[in-house]
Amino acid sequence: MAKKQLNIGLVGYGFMGRTHSNAFLQTPRFFDVPYEPVLKAVCARNADRVRSFAGNWGYESIETDWRALVDRKDIDLVDIASPNDTHAEIAVAAARAGKMVMCEKPLGRTAAEAEKIVAAVESARVPNSVWYNYRRVPAVVLLKHLVDEGRFGRIFHYRAQFLQDWTISKELPQGGEGLWRLDVAVAGSGVTGDLLAHCIDTALWLNGALSDVTAMTETFIKERKHNLTGRIEPVGIDDASAFLGRFQNGSLALFEATRYARGHKALYTLEINGEHASARWDLHDLHRLQWFDHRDDSQLRGWRSVHVTDSDHPYMKHWWVPGLQIGYEHTFIHHFADFLDAAARGTSPAPTFRDGLATDYVTDAVLKSARSGRWEAVGVAQQAGAL
Ligand code: SOE
């Protein structure tokens, strides 16, 4: 029987527009999803560029104003892959128009902005999800299963880092296409909202709410030419951000994100140390989970490196034969497959917009603490509502 079509309207054609479009095309080829995704329209301001993007990915039509896209009766899902300062307005309008909504991370530039988005999707009761894609790496999902099974015993430490090096040059301008992440008015923050937010999203999922943080941030290059004004302007984003924190379960948090770690391109690592076991994961080796279990026979006890590619590992039965690896783009495919399954049941897959809001509460507290120089509470009750 023919499946019901799900017409997608994508906003934004940058790096994330490509990852999402690839997921829309590949998902039904590898997963038995309840809808047939249709790449109905893509929207961005530059008509020539958006036409060429549409041609490359097979979108049926283009729009140059997101309002026209949201007004279209033939769009079921609005997917927001445009810069952070556009998320709230588009998401709220799309929800009010009764569309399903997916949004790139971070959900809002601030928690206050994200709260408005959550209110809109919850009052419209439309399926929604934030593309925190690293939750859907098979090795990370396996780690979640191990946590949920209680294999660690009491958890003492959760440690995460996201290291990059692409903004070290002081000649790099800020603002405009491709470089809006350096413009605080558009991005909301620097690495705190862009990279640390990934670490926080995974951590809240794996280890529960954070209660307090003490943070420091630094802007190493204080002025950069702005691409839109042509002038040298102050840099308002944080180039590096680190915090110590406490989770509600009593474990300690140690988090760091930077774009100034020379030699590291996208090194997201996390480690959990528990009473019985420890685990490590590393984005540069994403198909492996490092596992140490103190309950193993003492003569043979040691770190094992699990190659998470067997057919009984999370998501892997949909791919190749055991032992063959998948990569970064597959995390978006997994996410979209989960979204379609949930949407068909009228629900939203995690991370929902409310989960995305929880991450924004933490990033707000990190930035507040970096300014105040004090420990700041995160608002566990608010996160509890979210998680
Ligand atoms: C920044 O360089 C960036 O593209 C982030 O915006 C993504 O969320 C991260 O996954 C990779 O790095």
Question: Which residue, judged by its Cα, is nearest atom 1 of ligand 1?
Answer: 194
Residue carrying the six token digits 């039509």:
61
Residue 142: is its pLDDT beyond 60? yes
Give the nearest ligand 1 atom to 133 CA: 10
Domain boundaries in the chain?
4-132, 134-350+360-370
Question: Which residue, judged by its Cα, is nearest atom 9 of ligand 1?
Answer: 195
Question: Which residue, judged by its Cα, is nearest atom 10 of ligand 1?
Answer: 195
Over range 243-251, report the average pLDDT.
97
- Cβ atoms of 325 and 357 within 8 Å: the answer is no
> Hey, is 121 helix, strand or coil?
helix
> Hey, is 326 helix, strand or coil?
coil
Predicted pLDDT of residue 16:
97
Pocket test for ligand 1, best of 195, 329, 359 (most atoms within 8 A of CB): 195
Strands 61-63 and 277-282: unpaired
Helices 353-372 and 197-207, interaxial angle, to 10°? 120
Question: Which residue, judged by its Cα, is nearest atom 6 of ligand 1?
Answer: 194
Over range 271-286, report the average pLDDT.
98
In degrees, rounded to 5, the angle at the alpha carbon of residue 212 between the alpha carbons of residues 211 and 214 is 160
Over range 56-65, report the average pLDDT.
98
201 lines ligand 1 (CB under 6 A): no
In CATH, the architecture of 4-132 is: 3-Layer(aba) Sandwich (3.40)
**H-run or E-run covering 310:** none
First to last CA, the chain: 37
Helices 47-57 and 15-30, interaxial angle, to 10°? 20
Residue 158: is its pLDDT beyond 70? yes
Predicted pLDDT of residue 204:
97
How many CB atoms within 10 Å of residue 150?
Answer: 10
What residues contact residue 79 under an 8 Å CB cut-off, 6+ apart? 8, 9, 10, 11, 20, 101, 102, 103
267 lines ligand 1 (CB under 6 A): no
What pTM was computed for the model?
0.98
Q: Give 328-360 pLDDT, tens digit per residue.
A: 999 999 999 999 999 999 999 999 999 999 999
104 lines ligand 1 (CB under 6 A): no
Pocket test for ligand 1, best of 19, 80, 162, 194 (most atoms within 8 A of CB): 194
User: Is the four-CA dihedral 293, 294, 297, 303 of positive or negative sign?
Assistant: positive
380 lines ligand 1 (CB under 6 A): no
User: Which CATH homologous superfamily contains domain 134-350+360-370?
Assistant: Dihydrodipicolinate Reductase; domain 2 (3.30.360.10)
Whole-number Å distance, alpha carbon 154 to ligand 1 midpoint, is 32
Give the nearest ligand 1 atom to 105 CA: 8
Whole-number Å distance, alpha carbon 195 to ligand 1 midpoint, is 6
Backbone angles phi, psi at 321, to 5 degrees: -100, 160
Over range 221-249, report the average pLDDT.
98
Give the strand order in the sheet containing 77-80: 61-63, 35-43, 4-11, 77-80, 100-103, 128-130
Over range 163-177, report the average pLDDT.
97
Closest CA to 139 of 302, 325, 364: 325
Confidence tier at 304 by pLDDT (50, 70, 90): very high
Predicted pLDDT of residue 1:
73
Domains 4-132 and 134-350+360-370 are alike in CATH topology: no
- Distances in Å between the Cα of 310 and the Cα atoms of 147, 323, 325, 328 are 20, 6, 9, 17
What residues contact residue 365 under an 8 Å CB cut-off, 6+ apart? 210, 213, 215, 376, 377, 378, 379
Whole-number Å distance, alpha carbon 265 to ligand 1 midpoint, is 10
266 lines ligand 1 (CB under 6 A): yes
Whole-number Å distance, alpha carbon 128 to ligand 1 midpoint, is 21
